[in-house]
Amino acid sequence: MSSLRPRHAAAGAQFLDPAVLGRIGNLELLARTVVDGFLTGLHRSPYLGFSMDFAEHRPYNPGDDIRRIDWKLFGRTDRHYIKLFEADTNANFSVLLDLSASMSYGSHSLTKLDYARYLAACLTYFSNKQRDRVGLVTFDHEIVDYVPPSMKHLDTILHTLDRAEAGRPGSLEEPILKITEMLGRKGILVVISDFYEEPEQVIRALGPLRARGHDVIVFHVMDPYELEFPFEEASGFEDLETGEQIPVIPKKLQGDYLEMMTAHLASLAKKFADNRIDYALLDTSKPLDEALFAYLLAREKKSKTR
């Protein structure tokens, strides 16, 4: 697996400004708006199901795919019947959403958590629409909410997302270890976080998921100010999670900061790739559709490789 930069896959899509999405109060409506619009623009079937269950037979009509003729029934009845299959849940899809205090940061109208929430809602809605069982786990330094995967849990997930709030310090390893134990059946796990931990710690936390056979897709949500550090005025910078404060003259530090941030991102990308975890860095100022592209491309790639 390799990391995916969504902007390369976004050509031709009609994107929605995150700020516009922010004005849609209902998460389901938001997800539907994004996903349906996204699918319309995609011009290709999103149904990439891997298994179909038998539903009924119907007489063969010219033009039907002859591969779907039930030859055993032809043997018994000497008539051609087509087997109809009912789409079935083909995967467990769970979103692991980081609610640590750092996710509450936002340099513009949308915080990282808002963006992550929209993203989670869209992906969940999207997956539910293609008949995956959808689940949700929110966590900071421990598990906050857990919605087990189910076809019927879309509303619950959207509701849980709706009231999710970031406020406490976060860490990955401990809550994800518990999540690993809770999620028995293999599935698709989408981890949405800002990953303010050392890359080694991140991999150590996510490694067990991968080891259990889950397909792990990581969305690294970052604010543009975190990526570019465009501050100018000398200020006291306060850590949202620890409350610690230090005086900073940004112009003096910007170079060092960007260097360290770039190294951090590169290190994360490399380590995720090494562990066959799909990784996408999302800028909260960029349209949400890009994340969906990233997800779809990852899924497509997975399906091809299977």
Binding mask 254-293 for another protein (x = CB under 8 A): --xx--xx--x-----------------------------
Contact 137, 119 (CB under 8 A): no
DSSP H stretches of helix in 12-153 = 18-22, 27-42, 71-77, 112-129
Residue 146 three-state SS: strand
Nearer to another protein, 57 or 264 (CB): 264
Least distance (Å) between residue 137 CB and another protein: 21
Q: Does 73 bind another protein (CB under 8 A)?
A: no
Contact stretch for another protein (CB under 8 A) within 16-24, 91-99, 202-210, 236-244: 236-244
Least distance (Å) between residue 252 CB and another protein: 7
Contact stretch for another protein (CB under 8 A) within 16-24, 35-43, 201-209, 241-249: 241-249
Least distance (Å) between residue 127 CB and another protein: 28
In angstroms, the CA 295 to CA 91 distance is: 15
Q: Does 252 bind another protein (CB under 8 A)?
A: yes
For 169, phi then psi, to 5°, come to -60, 150
Greatest pairwise CA separation for the chain in angstroms: 86
Tokens of 249: 């003259």
Residue 98 three-state SS: strand
Least distance (Å) between residue 189 CB and another protein: 23
Binding mask 106-135 for another protein (x = CB under 8 A): ------x-----------------------
Q: Quick one: which H or E segment has residue 272?
A: helix 250-274
Contact 291, 280 (CB under 8 A): yes
In angstroms, the CA 81 to CA 78 distance is: 9
Least distance (Å) between residue 152 CB and another protein: 35
Least distance (Å) between residue 247 CB and another protein: 3
Sign of torsion over alpha carbons 278, 281, 284, 286: negative
Contact stretch for another protein (CB under 8 A) within 4-12, 62-70, 100-108, 132-140: 100-108
Site for another protein in 142-201 (CB under 8 A): 194, 196
Identity of the residue numbered 123: L
Task: Supply the Cα-derived Rg of the chain in whole angstroms.
Answer: 22
In angstroms, the CA 62 to CA 78 distance is: 16
- Bridge partners, 50 (sequence order): none
Q: Does 105 bind another protein (CB under 8 A)?
A: yes
> Of 102, 124, 138, 160, which lies in the binding site for another protein, with binding defined by CB under 8 A?
102
Q: Does 103 bind another protein (CB under 8 A)?
A: yes
Q: Does 234 bind another protein (CB under 8 A)?
A: yes
Residue numbers at the binding site for another protein (CB under 8 A): 101-103, 105, 112, 194, 196, 223, 226, 231, 233-242, 244-249, 252-253, 256-257, 260-261, 264
